[in-house]
Amino acid sequence: MTQHSLLIAGCGDVGSRLGERMSELGWQVYGLRRDVSHLPATIVPVAGDLQQPSCPAAWPQGPLDYLVYCAAASQHDEAGYRRAYVDGLRHALAWLAEHGQRPRRLVFVSSTGVYAQQGGEWVDETSPATAESYSGRIMREAEQVALDSSIPATRVRLAGIYGPGREWLLGQVRQGFRVATEPPLYGNRIHADDAAGLLGFLLQADVSGHVLEDCYIGVDDEPAPLHEVVGWLREQLDVTHWAEQQSVRRAGSKRCLNARARELGWAPRYPSYREGYAAVLAGRS
């Protein structure tokens, strides 16, 4: 007998990892995405397009206990972001209403890109979120749609997700790209498995009766200067050459804290880039 039902809207890499975790705990998990052929066998497929107003034919019937919205923009411009995050969330909320479903909680997967800090400042959930990039503005707008819904909502602002298939930085390092050392450019990251783990932890905490905050930052324990991460990866990959007139580029520099999630009892499996990238390089995750 299943314990709870969960619909993951935008069930990609992180969503599939989350779905598998919750299925193992006895949850009934539905995964909504355009191409359902890549979903794990334990997730009930719901073929549909969040960017279209018509409800998917396979939309689950009956009560839904939780909705996790973790869509990703397929078009990286202002219009693409709006369709993926604002319009898509509104469509999902409308489909819930159409079926008379009111989940216990909506978890909206957001981004630390909503923060504008660029001088290495420490950032937590109470810090001003004032990024003026289109991605930051639209993500905050989508967050507000979640908060304004009739469903109790929690935003989870994830940092740069890495893991199998998310190896852009490894490619840059292998090519010998340089990165500035002064001033240090601080970056924040979370392994895909820890991102899914945090989402699952919050769902289970809600079920257990813990009062969830309306926002959590999802990062590992150790924000690190990008040149330090690159230097460590160069050693692991045995890269000795440097590319000419090219560098790893990064916008912004801030250090995000995961203290609020940790106070609730969550801890990352990969506390820093070292453990996480070591697992990626060893093919363990």
CATH assignment at residue 69:
3.40.50.720
| Distance from C-alpha of 8 to C-alpha of 33, rounded to nearest angstrom | 9
Is the pLDDT at 1 greater than 80? The verdict is no
Q: Are 71 and 84 in contact (CB under 8 A)?
A: yes
Q: Confirm whether 96 is domain-assigned.
A: yes
pLDDT at position 140 is 98
Q: Confirm whether 37 is domain-assigned.
A: yes
| Distance from C-alpha of 2 to C-alpha of 115, rounded to nearest angstrom | 39
Residue-wise pLDDT for 83-130, tens only, equals 999 999 999 999 999 999 999 999 999 999 999 999 999 999 999 999
Q: Confirm whether 228 is domain-assigned.
A: no
Structural domain range at position 57: 5-161+189-221+254-268
Is the pLDDT at 152 greater than 90? The verdict is yes
Mean pLDDT, rounded, for 57-68? 96
pLDDT at position 252 is 72
pLDDT at position 182 is 84
Q: What percent of the chain has pLDDT over 90?
A: 88
Residue-wise pLDDT for 162-194, tens only, equals 999 898 899 999 999 888 888 889 999 999 999
Query: What band does 258 get if pLDDT is binned at 50, 70 and 90?
Result: very high
Q: Confirm whether 91 is domain-assigned.
A: yes
| Higher per-residue confidence, 246 vs 204 | 204
Provide the whole-model pTM: 0.95
Number of domains into which the chain is organized: 1
Tokens of 47: 């073929």
Is the pLDDT at 21 greater than 80? The verdict is yes
Q: Confirm whether 280 is domain-assigned.
A: no
Is the pLDDT at 226 greater than 60? The verdict is yes
Q: Are 107 and 216 in contact (CB under 8 A)?
A: no
pLDDT at position 271 is 98
Nearest CA-CA partner of 17 in 238, 192, 230, 240: 192
Q: Confirm whether 201 is domain-assigned.
A: yes
| Distance from C-alpha of 254 to C-alpha of 136, rounded to nearest angstrom | 15
pLDDT at position 251 is 62
- Average the pLDDT over each of 13-22, 149-158, 235-244 and give the range with the smallest value: 235-244
Tokens of 204: 């289970």
Q: Confirm whether 65 is domain-assigned.
A: yes
Q: Confirm whether 129 is domain-assigned.
A: yes
Is the pLDDT at 249 greater than 90? The verdict is no
Q: Are 137 and 111 in contact (CB under 8 A)?
A: no
| Distance from C-alpha of 132 to C-alpha of 113, rounded to nearest angstrom | 10
pLDDT at position 245 is 65
Supply the mean pLDDT for the chain.
94
